[in-house]
Structure 1
Amino acid sequence: MSSNLSATPVLITVRSLSAGAASGRLTCGGLDVACALGRGGITRDKREGDGAAPAGRFALLTVYYRADRVARPRTRLPVTELHPWMGWCDAPDHPRYNHLVTRPFTASHEAMWRDDHLYDIVVVLDCNLRPAVRGRGSAIFFHLARPGYPPTEGCVAVKEQDMRHILERCGPGAAICID
């Protein structure tokens, strides 16, 4: 592990470029990079399907990655390989709402094993998880951005190189503040 792996909890700050903007700036220590936000900008009243990133401070919980595509991220956060059977329930009425599920899965869910590269590295944020409140948003992640930083469905996204630099600094207590 590199000397960049600090024992001090890291705070990542995300701000939109303007009210309702789907793009922003992410800062982490001395790093200041572009990021994509939800197509609905940032909201203080998150609802399932609104396409907005939720305002608030959220712990970084688990890093997932596609071992068939990218190297394991260097971080002190828990890291798990993604597999084709992994999904994330986005059905508000289901008992597994906003949690990892095993595919095939009959209720509405998002595949974690994607054809695009957005989840080649993806971090689960502690947003509406404990407990998951029906309809208050699911699958709120910190993940990789598409080229050109088009809007996400409600997540924060950065390019892979920036994600790797950020995760190298992160360990227990790391959080993202979306404002």
Structure 2
Amino acid sequence: MPTGKIFYFTLLMMLLQSCVSQIPAKYNGYLVNSTQAILVTASGIQSNGELIFYERETVKDKWKKQFSFPVQIGRNGFATDIVFDTTATITKQEGDGCSPAGVFTLGPVFSYHAMENLNMPFQQVNKNNLCVDDVQSEYYNRLINTDTISNQDWNSFEFMQRNDLQYEYGVWVNYNAENIISGNGSCIFLHVWKDENSPTSGCTAMQKENLLQLIYALDEKRKPMLIQEKIDY
């Protein structure tokens, strides 16, 4: 390829990458009080996605990309959070294998281990901690401690301390968290992936080192927001 064409091709690729990596303007209204934002995108029903972490000094400044890395989302791609878009035709449901698309606040960081020097709320989890995904339970989509609950009315749940390392570190995503709607999906986290080719049941998963980079970057005072959306190329 002639030198001139190489230059223009390289410039075009840089411009395209810049366009793709920006936070879409349609989300500005959700970010007015935030100086940290996470954008997760994936195409179609693909589970392979990308996470980009942004910061800005003040709410009046422009967003600047800090880092990015690959992620795995739900095995059936994204489905829209009905609270985020009441007109959506495909919405997130319990057991659909989709990750929720929309804009979400973040809950506590959790881990099997004690963690220090965090700027987010933290909960160390053990075998007594469950996330209930039984749509008939009054504890649906809640993180509970079985030692403190006498009325254990659930038949389906997730152990927060698993027999593998996928929940060794994680961040609770506040999906279907306020005014919980039974059946709309539960137990959505950012967590460690099984491997780079394995989709999740609805969470967003990533390499352990990348997740820790994200966890230590998050600061609750900066009101971090998670944006998840399907991109059609």
SS in 1 for 2:135: coil
Superposition deviation, residue 9 in structure 1: 3.2
Superposition deviation, residue 53 in structure 1: 0.2
Counterpart of 2:139, as a letter, is: R
Q: TM-score, normalised by structure 2?
A: 0.68
**1:69-128 Cα shifts (integer Å, max 9, x gaps):** xx6264311011111100001011211100012348451111111011110011111100
- Equivalent residue for 1:51? 97
- Equivalent residue for 1:39? 75
Unaligned runs of 5+ in 2: 1-33, 55-65, 81-90
Task: Say whether residues 1:177 and 2:227 are aligned partners.
Answer: yes
Counterpart of 2:162, as a letter, is: R
Task: Say whether residues 1:62 and 2:108 are aligned partners.
Answer: yes
1:11 alignment partner, one of 25, 34, 37: 37
- Equivalent residue for 1:123? 171
Unaligned runs of 5+ in 1: 1-7
The structure having more radius of gyration, on CA atoms, is: 2
Q: How do 1:24-173 residues align onto structure 2 when only pairs under 5 Å count?
A: 24-29=49-54, 30-44=66-80, 45-67=91-113, 72=115, 74-103=117-146, 105-107=152-154, 108-172=156-220, 173=223
Comparing both structures, which one devotes a greater share of its residues to helix?
2
Superposition deviation, residue 156 in structure 1: 0.4
Superposition deviation, residue 130 in structure 1: 1.0
Q: Larger relative CO (CA 8 A, sep 6+): 1 or 2?
A: 1
Superposition deviation, residue 149 in structure 1: 3.7
On the 8 A contact 2:196/2:206 being kept in 1, the answer is no
SS in 1 for 2:181: coil
- Rounded to whole Å, the distance in 2 between the matches of 1:178 and 1:73 is 28
Identity %, equivalent residues: 26
- Equivalent residue for 1:23? 48
- Equivalent residue for 1:3? none
Instruction: Judge which range, 34-43 or 144-153, deviates more.
Output: 144-153
CA RMSD of aligned residues (A): 1.6
Superposition deviation, residue 165 in structure 1: 1.2
- Rounded to whole Å, the distance in 1 between the matches of 2:116 and 2:131 is 21
